[in-house]
Amino acid sequence: MSRRALGTMNEKNQNKTGFCKSEKGFTLIEMAIVLIIIGIIIGAIVKGKDIIKSAEQKKLYTKYVRSWQLAYNNYYDRTGWILGDEASNDNANRDGQCDPLATAANLEAQLKAIGLTPPVQGPTGSSLVRTYADSLGVQRTLTLAFAYNVNIGNFIRIRGIPNDLGIAWDRLIDDINDGTAGDLRYAANYNAPQTNVAWPSAETAPVANAAAILRLEF
């Protein structure tokens, strides 16, 4: 073989060898950058879900609980009476205490009688009932009523409230989430509300008779 042919062959072999050496995997720095980017994306997704959930919780409070709270206050300002004081709407039997037996029809009739517009009905078809998917992915039914307790006074009671929603509302209303202080409190048993119990963990299922207690001014 001529020297020229041999030199050409050596050049080809060197090119092949050099090409093979250039085929490298990811370096540790490149892998770290990829993992950081993935972490940022996952964090953004989780944060986005939290923002959406928080917005849902605030909207539910405003359109549901806050609407009834304002209706209660406006009714008192116009009449000097307590909304839901008498389930039969008989003014002669009023005693200044909310009657938990007052239905949506009772309450709406009292408001309409003095020219006030009742809170809107939700997807459930009732102005007192709403649904909410809690942190466990379970669809819960919330039922609002006006009630009275000698130790608490008149209050709004929300039965069926999941812990994550109660904690979120407590932060929204009172800037705390212990369930024992402020206007919104936790009651493990709505039949005998003792509001000195802290909210259970947001990741646990609500107790069957648990309720949120929102104390009213009058």
pLDDT tens, position by position, 46-85:
666 778 899 999 999 999 999 999 999 999 999 999 999 9
pLDDT band at 2 (very low <50, low <70, confident <90, very high): low
- Looking at the domain assignment, is residue 17 inside a domain? no
Tokens describing residue 127:
């102005």
pLDDT band at 3 (very low <50, low <70, confident <90, very high): low
- Looking at the domain assignment, is residue 21 inside a domain? no
Range of the domain at 183: 29-215
Average pLDDT, the chain: 87
pLDDT at residue 19 tops 50: no
- Looking at the domain assignment, is residue 4 inside a domain? no
Q: What is the mean pLDDT of residues 186-201?
A: 87
- Looking at the domain assignment, is residue 7 inside a domain? no
- Looking at the domain assignment, is residue 69 inside a domain? yes
- Looking at the domain assignment, is residue 156 inside a domain? yes
- Looking at the domain assignment, is residue 33 inside a domain? yes
pLDDT per position as a tens digit, 98-149: 999 999 999 999 999 999 999 999 899 999 999 999 999 999 999 999 999 9
- Looking at the domain assignment, is residue 42 inside a domain? yes
Tokens describing residue 50:
């939290």
Domain tally for the chain?
A: 1
Asked whether the whole model's pTM tops 0.95, one would answer no
**Quick one: what percent of the chain has pLDDT higher than 90?**
64
Query: How much is the pLDDT for 128?
Result: 98
Query: How much is the pLDDT for 41?
Result: 76
